[in-house]
Amino acid sequence: MSQHAYLRIADDLRQRIIEGRLAPGDRVPSRHELAREHGVSDRVAVEAVRLLVAEGYVESRTGSGTFVRRRPEVKRLTRSWYRAHGRADSPFRADMVAQGRTGTWRSASDAGEATPGVAERLGIAEGDPVMVTRYIFLADGQPVMLSTSWEPLKLTRGTPVMLPEEGPYAGAGVVTRMRAIGQEVSLASEVVSARAVLADEAGRLDEPMGSIVMVVQRTYSGERPVETADIVVPVDRYELEYTIQVE
Amino acid sequence: MSQHAYLRIADDLRQRIIEGRLAPGDRVPSRHELAREHGVSDRVAVEAVRLLVAEGYVESRTGSGTFVRRRPEVKRLTRSWYRAHGRADSPFRADMVAQGRTGTWRSASDAGEATPGVAERLGIAEGDPVMVTRYIFLADGQPVMLSTSWEPLKLTRGTPVMLPEEGPYAGAGVVTRMRAIGQEVSLASEVVSARAVLADEAGRLDEPMGSIVMVVQRTYSGERPVETADIVVPVDRYELEYTIQVE
DNA sequence: GCTTGAGAGTTGAGTACTCAGCTTGTCAAG
DNA sequence: CTTGACAAGCTGAGTACTCAACTCTCAAGC
Protein backbone atom coordinates (compact mmCIF):
# COMPACT_ATOMS: atom_id res chain seq x y z
CA MET A 1 0.00 0.00 0.00
CA SER A 2 1.24 3.42 0.85
CA GLN A 3 4.88 3.79 1.65
CA HIS A 4 4.55 6.64 4.07
CA ALA A 5 3.17 6.54 7.59
CA TYR A 6 0.96 9.62 7.24
CA LEU A 7 -0.60 8.20 4.06
CA ARG A 8 -1.27 4.90 5.79
CA ILE A 9 -3.08 6.66 8.64
CA ALA A 10 -5.03 8.82 6.20
CA ASP A 11 -6.01 5.75 4.17
CA ASP A 12 -7.19 4.02 7.33
CA LEU A 13 -9.34 6.96 8.43
CA ARG A 14 -10.71 7.53 4.93
CA GLN A 15 -11.72 3.89 4.74
CA ARG A 16 -13.46 4.10 8.12
CA ILE A 17 -15.40 7.15 6.94
CA ILE A 18 -16.39 5.64 3.59
CA GLU A 19 -17.54 2.42 5.23
CA GLY A 20 -19.54 4.38 7.76
CA ARG A 21 -17.64 3.19 10.83
CA LEU A 22 -17.00 6.89 11.36
CA ALA A 23 -20.29 8.68 10.66
CA PRO A 24 -20.76 12.36 9.80
CA GLY A 25 -20.45 14.39 13.00
CA ASP A 26 -18.38 11.73 14.81
CA ARG A 27 -15.15 12.77 16.39
CA VAL A 28 -12.02 11.45 14.77
CA PRO A 29 -9.39 10.24 17.26
CA SER A 30 -7.21 13.13 18.40
CA ARG A 31 -3.74 13.42 16.98
CA HIS A 32 -2.34 12.05 20.25
CA GLU A 33 -4.55 8.98 20.07
CA LEU A 34 -3.84 8.45 16.36
CA ALA A 35 -0.11 8.69 16.96
CA ARG A 36 -0.25 6.16 19.79
CA GLU A 37 -2.60 3.80 17.88
CA HIS A 38 -0.22 3.70 14.93
CA GLY A 39 3.01 3.92 16.91
CA VAL A 40 4.28 7.11 15.28
CA SER A 41 5.05 10.64 16.39
CA ASP A 42 2.43 13.34 16.77
CA ARG A 43 3.42 15.18 13.65
CA VAL A 44 2.67 12.20 11.43
CA ALA A 45 -0.87 12.15 12.76
CA VAL A 46 -1.13 15.90 12.14
CA GLU A 47 -0.10 15.41 8.50
CA ALA A 48 -2.64 12.62 8.04
CA VAL A 49 -5.46 14.76 9.43
CA ARG A 50 -4.37 17.72 7.38
CA LEU A 51 -4.65 15.64 4.22
CA LEU A 52 -8.18 14.55 5.08
CA VAL A 53 -9.14 18.16 5.79
CA ALA A 54 -7.86 19.15 2.33
CA GLU A 55 -9.84 16.30 0.78
CA GLY A 56 -12.97 17.50 2.54
CA TYR A 57 -13.53 14.37 4.64
CA VAL A 58 -13.09 15.94 8.06
CA GLU A 59 -12.96 19.36 9.64
CA SER A 60 -10.94 20.51 12.62
CA ARG A 61 -12.33 22.72 15.37
CA THR A 62 -9.66 24.32 17.52
CA GLY A 63 -9.84 23.24 21.12
CA SER A 64 -12.64 20.81 20.42
CA GLY A 65 -11.43 18.11 18.06
CA THR A 66 -11.60 16.85 14.50
CA PHE A 67 -14.95 15.72 13.17
CA VAL A 68 -16.20 13.82 10.15
CA ARG A 69 -17.70 16.40 7.88
CA ARG A 70 -21.40 16.46 7.19
CA ARG A 71 -21.30 16.68 3.43
CA PRO A 72 -24.02 19.02 2.34
CA GLU A 73 -25.90 17.39 -0.50
CA VAL A 74 -24.53 18.74 -3.74
CA LYS A 75 -27.26 20.73 -5.48
CA ARG A 76 -27.34 21.68 -9.09
CA LEU A 77 -27.57 25.22 -10.39
CA THR A 78 -29.25 25.16 -13.78
CA ARG A 79 -27.59 27.75 -15.98
CA SER A 80 -29.19 27.00 -19.32
CA TRP A 81 -30.59 28.99 -22.18
CA TYR A 82 -34.17 28.09 -21.39
CA ARG A 83 -34.03 29.21 -17.76
CA ALA A 84 -33.26 32.80 -18.63
CA HIS A 85 -36.76 33.60 -19.89
CA GLY A 86 -37.74 37.18 -19.22
CA ARG A 87 -39.58 36.60 -16.00
CA ALA A 88 -39.77 39.38 -13.47
CA ASP A 89 -37.78 37.44 -10.91
CA SER A 90 -34.13 36.75 -10.16
CA PRO A 91 -32.60 33.55 -11.61
CA PHE A 92 -31.30 32.64 -8.15
CA ARG A 93 -34.72 32.74 -6.53
CA ALA A 94 -36.16 30.70 -9.40
CA ASP A 95 -33.40 28.10 -8.98
CA MET A 96 -34.08 27.84 -5.26
CA VAL A 97 -37.82 27.49 -5.81
CA ALA A 98 -37.10 24.63 -8.24
CA GLN A 99 -35.19 22.91 -5.42
CA GLY A 100 -37.93 23.54 -2.87
CA ARG A 101 -35.88 26.03 -0.91
CA THR A 102 -36.20 29.71 -0.17
CA GLY A 103 -33.63 31.93 -1.83
CA THR A 104 -32.84 35.30 -0.30
CA TRP A 105 -29.84 37.60 -0.41
CA ARG A 106 -28.19 40.61 1.10
CA SER A 107 -26.36 43.21 -0.92
CA ALA A 108 -24.51 46.49 -0.74
CA SER A 109 -23.85 48.86 -3.64
CA ASP A 110 -21.10 51.41 -4.12
CA ALA A 111 -19.97 53.61 -6.96
CA GLY A 112 -16.43 52.86 -8.10
CA GLU A 113 -14.05 52.81 -11.03
CA ALA A 114 -13.58 49.99 -13.52
CA THR A 115 -10.46 47.89 -12.97
CA PRO A 116 -8.65 46.69 -16.11
CA GLY A 117 -10.32 43.27 -16.05
CA VAL A 118 -13.81 44.65 -15.49
CA ALA A 119 -13.29 47.34 -18.13
CA GLU A 120 -12.43 44.70 -20.72
CA ARG A 121 -15.42 42.59 -19.83
CA LEU A 122 -17.79 45.57 -20.04
CA GLY A 123 -16.19 47.08 -23.13
CA ILE A 124 -15.51 50.37 -21.36
CA ALA A 125 -12.34 52.26 -20.49
CA GLU A 126 -10.23 51.58 -17.43
CA GLY A 127 -11.31 53.97 -14.67
CA ASP A 128 -14.80 54.57 -16.07
CA PRO A 129 -17.44 54.88 -13.33
CA VAL A 130 -19.25 51.65 -12.43
CA MET A 131 -21.79 50.56 -9.84
CA VAL A 132 -20.29 47.75 -7.76
CA THR A 133 -22.74 45.53 -5.89
CA ARG A 134 -21.63 42.80 -3.53
CA TYR A 135 -24.10 39.99 -2.88
CA ILE A 136 -24.30 37.14 -0.45
CA PHE A 137 -26.93 34.58 -1.41
CA LEU A 138 -28.72 32.51 1.20
CA ALA A 139 -30.61 29.23 0.77
CA ASP A 140 -32.95 28.64 3.69
CA GLY A 141 -31.03 31.33 5.56
CA GLN A 142 -27.61 29.69 5.06
CA PRO A 143 -24.97 31.50 2.99
CA VAL A 144 -24.27 29.49 -0.17
CA MET A 145 -22.88 31.78 -2.84
CA LEU A 146 -21.10 35.12 -3.25
CA SER A 147 -21.21 37.52 -6.13
CA THR A 148 -19.74 40.85 -7.09
CA SER A 149 -21.49 42.68 -9.88
CA TRP A 150 -20.36 45.61 -12.01
CA GLU A 151 -22.61 47.82 -14.15
CA PRO A 152 -21.45 50.80 -16.23
CA LEU A 153 -22.87 54.00 -14.69
CA LYS A 154 -22.96 55.46 -18.17
CA LEU A 155 -25.98 53.23 -18.76
CA THR A 156 -27.81 53.46 -15.45
CA ARG A 157 -27.04 56.84 -13.92
CA GLY A 158 -30.18 58.85 -13.39
CA THR A 159 -32.48 55.87 -14.10
CA PRO A 160 -34.67 54.06 -11.56
CA VAL A 161 -32.44 50.95 -11.81
CA MET A 162 -29.13 52.62 -10.92
CA LEU A 163 -29.16 50.89 -7.55
CA PRO A 164 -29.84 47.19 -8.29
CA GLU A 165 -31.55 46.52 -4.98
CA GLU A 166 -33.64 49.67 -4.62
CA GLY A 167 -36.56 51.19 -6.45
CA PRO A 168 -39.38 49.55 -8.41
CA TYR A 169 -37.17 46.82 -9.91
CA ALA A 170 -35.38 45.81 -6.70
CA GLY A 171 -34.48 42.10 -6.83
CA ALA A 172 -35.84 41.63 -10.34
CA GLY A 173 -32.62 40.42 -11.96
CA VAL A 174 -30.34 42.07 -14.47
CA VAL A 175 -32.29 41.15 -17.62
CA THR A 176 -35.54 42.69 -16.36
CA ARG A 177 -33.88 45.78 -14.96
CA MET A 178 -31.92 46.49 -18.12
CA ARG A 179 -34.99 45.99 -20.25
CA ALA A 180 -36.75 48.62 -18.11
CA ILE A 181 -34.24 51.22 -19.32
CA GLY A 182 -34.35 50.07 -22.93
CA GLN A 183 -31.33 47.74 -22.88
CA GLU A 184 -32.36 44.41 -24.34
CA VAL A 185 -30.22 41.51 -23.14
CA SER A 186 -29.81 38.66 -25.60
CA LEU A 187 -26.69 36.77 -24.48
CA ALA A 188 -25.06 35.66 -21.29
CA SER A 189 -21.45 34.50 -21.38
CA GLU A 190 -20.20 32.45 -18.46
CA VAL A 191 -16.51 31.74 -18.09
CA VAL A 192 -15.97 29.03 -15.49
CA SER A 193 -12.81 28.47 -13.51
CA ALA A 194 -11.96 27.21 -10.02
CA ARG A 195 -9.47 27.92 -7.24
CA ALA A 196 -8.90 27.56 -3.51
CA VAL A 197 -11.24 29.65 -1.37
CA LEU A 198 -9.86 32.96 -0.09
CA ALA A 199 -9.83 33.66 3.64
CA ASP A 200 -12.65 36.22 3.65
CA GLU A 201 -14.78 34.10 1.32
CA ALA A 202 -14.29 31.11 3.62
CA GLY A 203 -15.53 33.19 6.54
CA ARG A 204 -18.57 34.51 4.72
CA LEU A 205 -19.56 31.14 3.26
CA ASP A 206 -18.78 29.20 6.44
CA GLU A 207 -16.46 26.94 4.47
CA PRO A 208 -13.22 25.52 5.87
CA MET A 209 -10.01 27.07 4.57
CA GLY A 210 -8.50 25.12 1.69
CA SER A 211 -11.83 24.16 0.18
CA ILE A 212 -12.43 24.71 -3.51
CA VAL A 213 -14.74 27.21 -5.16
CA MET A 214 -15.78 27.68 -8.74
CA VAL A 215 -15.64 31.21 -10.08
CA VAL A 216 -18.08 32.13 -12.83
CA GLN A 217 -17.37 35.33 -14.74
CA ARG A 218 -20.78 36.09 -16.13
CA THR A 219 -21.40 38.88 -18.61
CA TYR A 220 -24.84 39.89 -19.86
CA SER A 221 -24.94 41.69 -23.18
CA GLY A 222 -27.29 42.85 -25.90
CA GLU A 223 -25.82 45.23 -28.41
CA ARG A 224 -23.11 45.80 -25.84
CA PRO A 225 -22.19 44.35 -22.44
CA VAL A 226 -24.51 45.71 -19.75
CA GLU A 227 -23.36 43.87 -16.65
CA THR A 228 -20.63 41.52 -15.51
CA ALA A 229 -20.25 39.59 -12.29
CA ASP A 230 -17.87 37.25 -10.47
CA ILE A 231 -19.88 34.49 -8.87
CA VAL A 232 -18.17 32.35 -6.22
CA VAL A 233 -19.71 28.90 -5.72
CA PRO A 234 -18.33 26.29 -3.27
CA VAL A 235 -17.96 22.94 -5.06
CA ASP A 236 -19.23 20.98 -2.08
CA ARG A 237 -22.58 22.77 -2.26
CA TYR A 238 -23.24 23.18 -5.95
CA GLU A 239 -22.46 21.91 -9.39
CA LEU A 240 -23.30 23.96 -12.45
CA GLU A 241 -25.45 22.50 -15.18
CA TYR A 242 -25.27 23.91 -18.68
CA THR A 243 -27.54 22.73 -21.44
CA ILE A 244 -26.22 23.22 -24.94
CA GLN A 245 -28.35 22.92 -28.03
CA VAL A 246 -26.73 20.90 -30.77
CA GLU A 247 -27.31 22.37 -34.22
CA MET B 1 -0.03 42.17 9.33
CA SER B 2 -0.14 38.46 9.77
CA GLN B 3 0.21 37.12 13.25
CA HIS B 4 1.98 33.93 12.37
CA ALA B 5 5.54 33.54 11.25
CA TYR B 6 4.78 31.17 8.37
CA LEU B 7 2.14 33.56 6.99
CA ARG B 8 4.59 36.45 7.18
CA ILE B 9 7.17 34.50 5.19
CA ALA B 10 4.54 33.40 2.67
CA ASP B 11 3.32 37.00 2.30
CA ASP B 12 6.87 38.16 1.72
CA LEU B 13 7.56 35.57 -0.98
CA ARG B 14 4.18 36.11 -2.64
CA GLN B 15 4.89 39.84 -2.80
CA ARG B 16 8.29 39.22 -4.35
CA ILE B 17 6.70 36.99 -7.00
CA ILE B 18 3.88 39.42 -7.81
CA GLU B 19 6.27 42.34 -8.10
CA GLY B 20 8.55 40.31 -10.34
CA ARG B 21 11.58 40.34 -8.04
CA LEU B 22 11.23 36.57 -8.25
CA ALA B 23 10.53 35.71 -11.89
CA PRO B 24 8.97 32.50 -13.25
CA GLY B 25 11.62 29.80 -13.24
CA ASP B 26 13.70 31.46 -10.50
CA ARG B 27 14.68 29.43 -7.51
CA VAL B 28 13.03 30.39 -4.25
CA PRO B 29 15.44 30.42 -1.28
CA SER B 30 15.69 26.96 0.24
CA ARG B 31 13.91 26.28 3.49
CA HIS B 32 17.22 26.54 5.32
CA GLU B 33 17.93 29.97 3.85
CA LEU B 34 14.38 31.17 4.47
CA ALA B 35 14.51 30.00 8.08
CA ARG B 36 17.80 31.79 8.67
CA GLU B 37 16.70 34.97 6.82
CA HIS B 38 13.61 35.25 9.00
CA GLY B 39 15.15 33.90 12.18
CA VAL B 40 12.77 30.97 12.61
CA SER B 41 13.03 27.21 12.60
CA ASP B 42 13.07 25.10 9.46
CA ARG B 43 9.52 23.88 9.86
CA VAL B 44 8.10 27.40 9.68
CA ALA B 45 9.75 27.86 6.30
CA VAL B 46 8.39 24.50 5.17
CA GLU B 47 4.85 25.59 6.10
CA ALA B 48 5.25 28.86 4.22
CA VAL B 49 6.46 27.12 1.07
CA ARG B 50 3.73 24.53 1.36
CA LEU B 51 1.12 27.30 1.38
CA LEU B 52 2.55 28.87 -1.78
CA VAL B 53 2.59 25.48 -3.49
CA ALA B 54 -1.11 25.07 -2.67
CA GLU B 55 -1.81 28.54 -4.04
CA GLY B 56 -0.01 27.65 -7.25
CA TYR B 57 2.74 30.27 -6.96
CA VAL B 58 5.68 27.90 -6.70
CA GLU B 59 6.49 24.27 -7.29
CA SER B 60 8.92 22.05 -5.43
CA ARG B 61 11.25 19.63 -7.15
CA THR B 62 12.70 17.03 -4.80
CA GLY B 63 16.45 17.23 -4.56
CA SER B 64 16.62 20.33 -6.70
CA GLY B 65 14.76 23.17 -5.04
CA THR B 66 11.60 25.23 -5.09
CA PHE B 67 10.91 27.33 -8.17
CA VAL B 68 8.51 30.10 -9.12
CA ARG B 69 5.93 28.46 -11.32
CA ARG B 70 5.70 29.32 -14.97
CA ARG B 71 2.00 29.87 -15.24
CA PRO B 72 0.85 28.46 -18.54
CA GLU B 73 -1.37 31.00 -20.22
CA VAL B 74 -4.96 30.17 -19.40
CA LYS B 75 -6.78 29.26 -22.60
CA ARG B 76 -10.48 29.21 -23.07
CA LEU B 77 -12.49 26.21 -24.19
CA THR B 78 -15.62 27.40 -25.95
CA ARG B 79 -18.47 25.11 -25.03
CA SER B 80 -21.42 26.93 -26.54
CA TRP B 81 -24.46 26.03 -28.54
CA TYR B 82 -23.18 27.55 -31.74
CA ARG B 83 -19.90 25.60 -31.72
CA ALA B 84 -21.65 22.26 -31.83
CA HIS B 85 -22.71 22.57 -35.47
CA GLY B 86 -22.68 19.26 -37.25
CA ARG B 87 -19.26 19.46 -38.72
CA ALA B 88 -17.44 16.25 -39.42
CA ASP B 89 -14.69 17.01 -36.94
CA SER B 90 -14.16 16.66 -33.20
CA PRO B 91 -15.00 19.69 -31.06
CA PHE B 92 -11.57 19.49 -29.43
CA ARG B 93 -9.68 19.76 -32.70
CA ALA B 94 -11.89 22.67 -33.75
CA ASP B 95 -11.17 24.43 -30.44
CA MET B 96 -7.43 23.97 -30.86
CA VAL B 97 -7.54 25.24 -34.45
CA ALA B 98 -9.34 28.36 -33.19
CA GLN B 99 -6.41 28.90 -30.81
CA GLY B 100 -3.83 28.31 -33.52
CA ARG B 101 -2.65 25.04 -32.01
CA THR B 102 -2.69 21.44 -33.14
CA GLY B 103 -5.03 19.17 -31.25
CA THR B 104 -4.37 15.45 -31.18
CA TRP B 105 -5.24 12.63 -28.82
CA ARG B 106 -4.59 9.07 -27.84
CA SER B 107 -7.32 6.69 -26.78
CA ALA B 108 -8.04 3.12 -25.74
CA SER B 109 -11.43 1.43 -25.79
CA ASP B 110 -12.70 -1.48 -23.72
CA ALA B 111 -16.06 -3.15 -23.28
CA GLY B 112 -17.33 -2.96 -19.70
CA GLU B 113 -20.40 -2.75 -17.49
CA ALA B 114 -22.25 0.41 -16.49
CA THR B 115 -21.57 1.60 -12.96
CA PRO B 116 -24.55 3.06 -11.05
CA GLY B 117 -23.57 6.66 -11.88
CA VAL B 118 -22.99 5.99 -15.56
CA ALA B 119 -26.18 3.94 -15.80
CA GLU B 120 -28.20 6.85 -14.45
CA ARG B 121 -26.60 9.30 -16.83
CA LEU B 122 -27.23 7.04 -19.85
CA GLY B 123 -30.70 5.99 -18.79
CA ILE B 124 -29.77 2.29 -18.81
CA ALA B 125 -29.64 -0.38 -16.13
CA GLU B 126 -26.71 -0.92 -13.80
CA GLY B 127 -24.43 -3.58 -15.27
CA ASP B 128 -25.60 -3.08 -18.86
CA PRO B 129 -22.77 -3.44 -21.39
CA VAL B 130 -21.01 -0.18 -22.36
CA MET B 131 -18.02 0.79 -24.45
CA VAL B 132 -15.52 2.65 -22.25
CA THR B 133 -12.99 4.85 -24.02
CA ARG B 134 -10.20 6.65 -22.21
CA TYR B 135 -8.73 9.71 -23.91
CA ILE B 136 -5.74 11.89 -23.32
CA PHE B 137 -5.84 15.11 -25.33
CA LEU B 138 -2.69 16.85 -26.47
CA ALA B 139 -2.22 20.45 -27.57
CA ASP B 140 0.97 20.86 -29.57
CA GLY B 141 2.03 17.46 -28.24
CA GLN B 142 1.58 18.40 -24.56
CA PRO B 143 -1.10 16.57 -22.50
CA VAL B 144 -3.81 19.05 -21.49
CA MET B 145 -7.03 17.22 -20.81
CA LEU B 146 -8.32 13.75 -19.88
CA SER B 147 -11.63 12.17 -20.67
CA THR B 148 -13.43 8.92 -20.06
CA SER B 149 -16.38 8.22 -22.32
CA TRP B 150 -19.19 5.69 -22.00
CA GLU B 151 -21.52 4.59 -24.79
CA PRO B 152 -24.30 1.98 -24.47
CA LEU B 153 -23.36 -1.09 -26.51
CA LYS B 154 -27.06 -1.66 -27.08
CA LEU B 155 -26.86 1.25 -29.54
CA THR B 156 -23.53 0.66 -31.22
CA ARG B 157 -22.86 -3.08 -31.18
CA GLY B 158 -22.48 -4.41 -34.70
CA THR B 159 -22.31 -0.92 -36.27
CA PRO B 160 -19.21 0.67 -37.86
CA VAL B 161 -19.00 3.19 -34.98
CA MET B 162 -18.81 0.69 -32.11
CA LEU B 163 -15.16 1.54 -31.59
CA PRO B 164 -15.00 5.38 -31.45
CA GLU B 165 -11.48 5.61 -32.78
CA GLU B 166 -11.61 3.01 -35.53
CA GLY B 167 -13.43 2.63 -38.80
CA PRO B 168 -14.74 5.25 -41.25
CA TYR B 169 -15.82 7.71 -38.52
CA ALA B 170 -12.65 7.54 -36.40
CA GLY B 171 -12.06 10.89 -34.69
CA ALA B 172 -15.23 12.46 -36.05
CA GLY B 173 -16.85 13.27 -32.72
CA VAL B 174 -19.86 11.77 -30.98
CA VAL B 175 -22.52 13.80 -32.80
CA THR B 176 -21.33 12.78 -36.25
CA ARG B 177 -20.78 9.16 -35.30
CA MET B 178 -24.21 8.79 -33.71
CA ARG B 179 -25.86 10.41 -36.68
CA ALA B 180 -24.20 7.81 -38.88
CA ILE B 181 -26.18 5.09 -37.12
CA GLY B 182 -29.42 7.07 -37.11
CA GLN B 183 -29.16 8.57 -33.63
CA GLU B 184 -29.77 12.30 -33.93
CA VAL B 185 -28.17 14.30 -31.12
CA SER B 186 -29.97 17.49 -30.16
CA LEU B 187 -28.80 18.34 -26.66
CA ALA B 188 -25.61 18.29 -24.64
CA SER B 189 -25.78 18.63 -20.87
CA GLU B 190 -22.61 19.62 -19.07
CA VAL B 191 -22.46 19.41 -15.29
CA VAL B 192 -19.40 21.26 -14.02
CA SER B 193 -17.66 20.66 -10.72
CA ALA B 194 -14.08 20.87 -9.44
CA ARG B 195 -11.77 19.01 -7.07
CA ALA B 196 -8.13 18.38 -6.27
CA VAL B 197 -6.27 16.41 -8.92
CA LEU B 198 -5.86 12.67 -8.29
CA ALA B 199 -2.39 11.14 -8.24
CA ASP B 200 -2.66 9.33 -11.57
CA GLU B 201 -4.26 12.33 -13.27
CA ALA B 202 -1.43 14.52 -12.00
CA GLY B 203 1.07 12.13 -13.54
CA ARG B 204 -0.68 11.96 -16.88
CA LEU B 205 -1.27 15.70 -17.14
CA ASP B 206 2.15 16.63 -15.77
CA GLU B 207 0.50 18.76 -13.08
CA PRO B 208 1.86 19.08 -9.54
CA MET B 209 -0.05 17.23 -6.83
CA GLY B 210 -2.58 19.42 -5.08
CA SER B 211 -3.51 21.38 -8.16
CA ILE B 212 -7.16 21.83 -9.04
CA VAL B 213 -9.08 20.33 -11.93
CA MET B 214 -12.57 20.94 -13.22
CA VAL B 215 -14.65 17.86 -13.95
CA VAL B 216 -17.28 18.14 -16.67
CA GLN B 217 -19.90 15.41 -16.81
CA ARG B 218 -21.08 15.75 -20.38
CA THR B 219 -24.06 13.84 -21.74
CA TYR B 220 -25.14 13.91 -25.36
CA SER B 221 -28.75 13.01 -26.02
CA GLY B 222 -31.39 13.04 -28.69
CA GLU B 223 -34.50 11.04 -27.94
CA ARG B 224 -32.40 9.32 -25.32
CA PRO B 225 -28.85 9.70 -23.93
CA VAL B 226 -26.32 8.30 -26.39
CA GLU B 227 -23.02 9.08 -24.71
CA THR B 228 -21.67 10.42 -21.46
CA ALA B 229 -18.15 11.42 -20.50
CA ASP B 230 -16.11 12.69 -17.56
CA ILE B 231 -13.76 15.40 -18.79
CA VAL B 232 -10.89 16.44 -16.51
CA VAL B 233 -9.51 19.93 -17.17
CA PRO B 234 -6.71 21.56 -15.13
CA VAL B 235 -7.77 25.05 -14.08
CA ASP B 236 -4.33 26.50 -14.70
CA ARG B 237 -4.55 25.57 -18.38
CA TYR B 238 -8.16 26.16 -19.30
CA GLU B 239 -11.31 28.00 -18.40
CA LEU B 240 -14.65 26.95 -19.84
CA GLU B 241 -16.78 29.43 -21.71
CA TYR B 242 -20.50 28.88 -22.02
CA THR B 243 -22.71 31.14 -24.06
CA ILE B 244 -26.35 31.20 -23.04
CA GLN B 245 -29.09 32.66 -25.19
CA VAL B 246 -31.48 34.89 -23.27
CA GLU B 247 -35.10 34.49 -24.34
C1' DG C 1 -32.28 25.92 39.09
C1' DC C 2 -28.57 28.82 37.49
C1' DT C 3 -23.98 30.60 37.21
C1' DT C 4 -19.13 30.31 37.44
C1' DG C 5 -14.50 28.61 37.77
C1' DA C 6 -11.08 24.97 37.51
C1' DG C 7 -9.10 21.46 34.97
C1' DA C 8 -8.58 18.23 31.29
C1' DG C 9 -8.36 17.67 26.52
C1' DT C 10 -7.62 19.45 21.83
C1' DT C 11 -5.87 22.01 17.85
C1' DG C 12 -2.51 25.37 15.86
C1' DA C 13 1.96 26.84 15.86
C1' DG C 14 6.72 26.46 16.87
C1' DT C 15 11.79 24.63 18.15
C1' DA C 16 15.56 21.71 17.06
C1' DC C 17 16.93 18.14 15.28
C1' DT C 18 17.78 13.40 11.99
C1' DC C 19 17.76 10.64 7.81
C1' DA C 20 16.78 8.96 2.97
C1' DG C 21 16.65 9.83 -1.71
C1' DC C 22 17.23 12.88 -5.44
C1' DT C 23 19.67 16.58 -8.45
C1' DT C 24 23.37 19.16 -9.91
C1' DG C 25 27.82 21.19 -10.40
C1' DT C 26 32.67 20.24 -10.17
C1' DC C 27 36.74 18.08 -11.18
C1' DA C 28 39.86 14.59 -12.40
C1' DA C 29 40.71 10.64 -15.43
C1' DG C 30 40.55 8.82 -19.88
C1' DC D 1 36.32 16.92 -25.27
C1' DT D 2 33.79 13.54 -22.94
C1' DT D 3 32.63 10.76 -19.09
C1' DG D 4 32.23 9.09 -14.39
C1' DA D 5 32.62 9.65 -9.50
C1' DC D 6 31.76 12.48 -5.78
C1' DA D 7 30.36 16.06 -2.69
C1' DA D 8 27.19 19.56 -1.66
C1' DG D 9 22.69 20.97 -1.36
C1' DC D 10 17.70 20.27 -1.58
C1' DT D 11 13.08 18.39 -0.51
C1' DG D 12 10.15 14.97 1.84
C1' DA D 13 9.41 12.60 5.86
C1' DG D 14 9.97 11.72 10.65
C1' DT D 15 11.12 12.15 16.03
C1' DA D 16 10.30 14.36 20.32
C1' DC D 17 9.21 17.85 22.39
C1' DT D 18 6.94 22.94 24.10
C1' DC D 19 3.49 26.55 24.48
C1' DA D 20 -0.77 29.34 23.66
C1' DA D 21 -5.47 29.54 22.92
C1' DC D 22 -9.69 27.47 22.79
C1' DT D 23 -13.70 24.16 24.21
C1' DC D 24 -16.14 21.29 27.09
C1' DT D 25 -17.51 19.16 31.32
C1' DC D 26 -18.55 19.01 35.91
C1' DA D 27 -18.80 20.24 40.50
C1' DA D 28 -19.15 23.96 43.95
C1' DG D 29 -21.57 27.84 45.40
C1' DC D 30 -25.37 31.02 45.19
Q: What is the pTM of this model?
A: 0.88
A3-17, A84-98, B53-67, B79-93 — which is least confidently predicted?
Answer: B79-93
pLDDT over 90 at B100, yes or no:
no
Q: Provide CATH 3.40.1410.10 ranges for chain A.
A: 75-242
Helix/strand/coil for A186:
coil
- Could you tell me which CATH class the domain A75-242 is placed in? alpha beta
pLDDT over 80 at B86, yes or no:
no
Beta-ladder partners of A152: A130
Average pLDDT over residues B118-141: 95
Highest mean pLDDT among A46-55, A159-168, B96-105, B163-172 belongs to A46-55
pLDDT over 80 at B179, yes or no:
yes
Residue pair B198/A54 in contact (Cβ under 8 Å)? The answer is: no
**Which tens digits make up the pLDDT trace of A29-87?**
989 999 999 999 999 999 999 999 988 899 999 989 999 998 878 888 888 755 544 45
In this predicted model, which residue has the larger pLDDT, B2 or A245? A245
Which residues of chain B lie closer than 8 angstroms to A173, CB-CB? none
Residue A142's pLDDT is: 84
Strand D, nucleotides < 7 Å from a protein CB: these are 9-18, 21-24
Nearest Cα residue to B136 out of B163, B107, B161: B107
Average pLDDT over residues A125-144: 93
Whole-number Å distance between alpha carbons of A87 and B246: 11
- Could you tell me which CATH class the domain A2-68 is placed in? mainly alpha
Which residues of chain A lie closer than 8 angstroms to B56, CB-CB? 195
Mean pLDDT of chain A: 89
**Out of A55, A76, A212, whose CB is closest to B194?**
A212
Mean pLDDT of chain B: 89
Q: Provide CATH 1.10.10.10 ranges for chain B.
A: 2-68
Hey, is the C-beta of B120 within 8 angstroms of any chain A C-beta?
no
Residue B172's pLDDT is: 80
